[in-house]
């Protein structure tokens, strides 16, 4: 496999782009080598600048749930393009996408569209503060909620991959109202409430994807919600990654919990920039123009992005691929576990719906500490062997792999062959 054109583009990209990437998670810092440049993609496959073809388990970090260039999404986008690109005024498409999203989330009467997951979360936090009149926020170590200042502490994959505790350039004042708790540890939440009486909300990834896939223990979210209600604090569920991934709607429903505020992104734009936050009427009425919490966006509810989102969610509902996801993920889990056993490599696989990943370590992963104790060097060897055998993975031990409804049995066979070679390579380290 040659990477000559990617290599040349990388060198050229370094001149005017930072690290030749526009998001650090795309850099190959922790796996070594240079990032691949992508030329095009179709269905479950992605093709790089050197015409190497891979089964894509990155899927743009989640959005491409139907696979690349789905016919119906492409048709909807082409149709929308004919009318205009952006107006600075409302369009019917925003109402249509809002109806689909609200119907899928029982706790959401109203929704506001924005242009990214980061924006959705920072607005959701502002809304929780506006509604409660309190300032402090609790987040969990290893959860990532976008790159807003207040939440760039103990923030999972991107930072963990680069071994950064937080980000430079974030003033102390910006994080002084951010408290950190441990995932799956309710006591670590209660501890903060004992010390502070001005906690507005707790924000959580219901199933984490940004320290790798970590599942909440039985009833963790239910107990958390119950506790927060007793304290008059809100639960913000960040479903930017999990929304529409494990069921049509959110992971919260599967976990038996209802958020006060839900944040969305990724899948709901079908590959175009869409984020959203929503809640019951009483909370959303705080948002301008109904209320006094200001939040705005020149390109919010962009008609092309709305068209892609509507087409994606409509097709997703029609396909109802969630049983298939469960089946495919469990097959891939078995492939990983059995191959690792064959070559005597220690791994543990976590999965939920269409998200999964192996951690190279012995013993379970239930929080950030355990995730961080994985062997990133082994992952790096595994990663490159998978690339050389035609499977594109996120270039980090701390990222979830994603499945698309376009994945075929033939693809899975190819993944199995690649895993065999990759585990063998790891066993020889």
Ligand X SMILES: *Cc1c(COP(=O)(O)O)cnc(C)c1O
Annotated active-site residue in 144, 225, 260, 322: 144
CA distances from 10 to 33, 82, 323, 383 (A): 11, 35, 39, 19
Q: Which residue is nearest to ligand X (CB)?
A: 117
Q: Say if residues 65 and 247 touch (Cβ distance below 8 Å).
A: no
Quick check: 205 binds ligand X (CB under 6 A)?
yes
Q: Say if residues 259 and 282 touch (Cβ distance below 8 Å).
A: no
CB of 311 to ligand X, least distance (A): 19
144 is catalytic: yes
The residue from 121, 152, 365, 406 that contacts ligand X (CB under 6 A) is 121
Contact segment (CB under 6 A) with ligand X among 114-122, 165-173, 374-382, 418-426 equals 114-122
Quick check: 144 binds ligand X (CB under 6 A)?
yes
> Is 221 or 340 the residue whose CB approaches ligand X more closely?
221
Q: How many CB atoms lie within 10 A of CB 63?
A: 23
Quick check: 13 binds ligand X (CB under 6 A)?
no
Q: How many CB atoms lie within 10 A of CB 15?
A: 7
The residue from 13, 35, 43, 117 that contacts ligand X (CB under 6 A) is 117
Burial of 222 (0-12, 13-18, 19+ CB in 10 A): middle
Quick check: 209 binds ligand X (CB under 6 A)?
yes
> Is 13 or 63 the residue whose CB approaches ligand X more closely?
63
Contact segment (CB under 6 A) with ligand X among 69-77, 140-148, 190-198, 316-324 equals 140-148
Quick check: 108 binds ligand X (CB under 6 A)?
no
CB of 123 to ligand X, least distance (A): 12
The residue from 238, 260, 370, 411 that contacts ligand X (CB under 6 A) is 238
C-alpha 312: how far from its chain's center? Answer: 17
Task: Give the alpha-carbon dihedral of 123, 268, 371, 338, to 10 degrees.
Answer: 170
Quick check: 240 binds ligand X (CB under 6 A)?
yes
238 is catalytic: yes
Non-local (6+) Cβ contacts of 271 within 8 A are 60, 63, 64, 68, 73, 308, 312
The residue from 45, 68, 129, 145 that contacts ligand X (CB under 6 A) is 145
Count of residues binding ligand X (CB under 6 A)?
15
The residues with which 47 forms a beta bridge, in sequence order, are: 40, 53
The residue from 6, 30, 93, 210 that contacts ligand X (CB under 6 A) is 210
Interface contacts to ligand X, rule CB under 6 A: 116-118, 121, 144-146, 205, 209-210, 238, 240-241, 265, 275
Catalytic residue IDs: 144, 238, 266
């Amino acid at each position: 496999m040659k990477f000559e054109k990617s290599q040349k583009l990388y060198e050229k990209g370094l001149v005017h782009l930072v690290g030749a990437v526009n998001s650090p998670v795309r850099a190959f810092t922790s796996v070594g080598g240079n990032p691949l440049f992508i030329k095009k993609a179709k269905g479950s496959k992605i093709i790089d600048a050197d015409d190497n073809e891979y089964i894509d388990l990155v899927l743009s970090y989640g959005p491409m749930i139907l696979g690349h260039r789905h016919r119906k999404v492409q048709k909807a986008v082409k149709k929308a393009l004919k009318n205009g690109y952006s107006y600075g005024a409302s369009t019917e498409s925003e109402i249509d996408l809002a109806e689909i999203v609200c119907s899928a989330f029982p706790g959401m009467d109203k929704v506001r569209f924005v242009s990214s997951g980061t924006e959705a979360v920072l607005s959701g936090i502002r809304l929780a503060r506006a509604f409660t009149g309190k300032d402090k926020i609790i987040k969990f170590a290893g959860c990532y909620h976008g790159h807003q200042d207040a939440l760039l502490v103990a923030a999972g994959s991107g930072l963990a991959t680069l071994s950064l505790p937080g980000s430079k350039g974030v003033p102390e004042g910006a994080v002084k109202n951010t408290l950190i708790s441990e995932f799956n540890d309710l006591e670590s939440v209660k501890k903060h409430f004992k010390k502070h009486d001005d906690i507005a909300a707790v924000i959580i990834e219901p199933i984490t994807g940004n320290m790798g896939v970590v599942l909440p223990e039985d009833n963790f979210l239910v107990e958390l919600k119950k506790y927060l209600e007793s304290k008059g604090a809100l639960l913000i569920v960040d479903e930017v990654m999990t929304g529409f991934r494990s069921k049509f709607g959110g992971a919260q429903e599967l976990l038996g919990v209802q958020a006060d505020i839900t944040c969305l992104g990724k899948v709901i734009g079908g590959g175009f920039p869409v984020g959203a936050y929503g809640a019951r009427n009483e909370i959303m009425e705080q948002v301008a123009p109904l209320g006094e919490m200001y939040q705005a966006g020149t390109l919010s509810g962009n008609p092309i992005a709305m068209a892609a989102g509507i087409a994606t969610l409509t097709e997703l509902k029609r396909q109802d691929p969630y049983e298939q996801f469960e089946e495919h993920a469990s097959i891939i889990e078995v492939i990983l576990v059995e191959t690792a056993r064959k070559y005597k490599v220690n791994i543990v696989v976590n999965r939920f719906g269409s998200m999964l990943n192996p951690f190279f370590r012995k013993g379970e992963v239930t929080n950030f500490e355990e995730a961080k104790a994985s062997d990133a060097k082994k992952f790096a060897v595994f990663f490159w062997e998978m690339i050389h055998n035609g499977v594109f993975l996120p270039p980090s031990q701390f990222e979830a792999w994603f499945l698309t409804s376009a994945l075929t049995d033939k693809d899975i066979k190819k993944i199995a062959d690649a895993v065999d070679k990759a585990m063998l390579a790891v066993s020889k380290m």
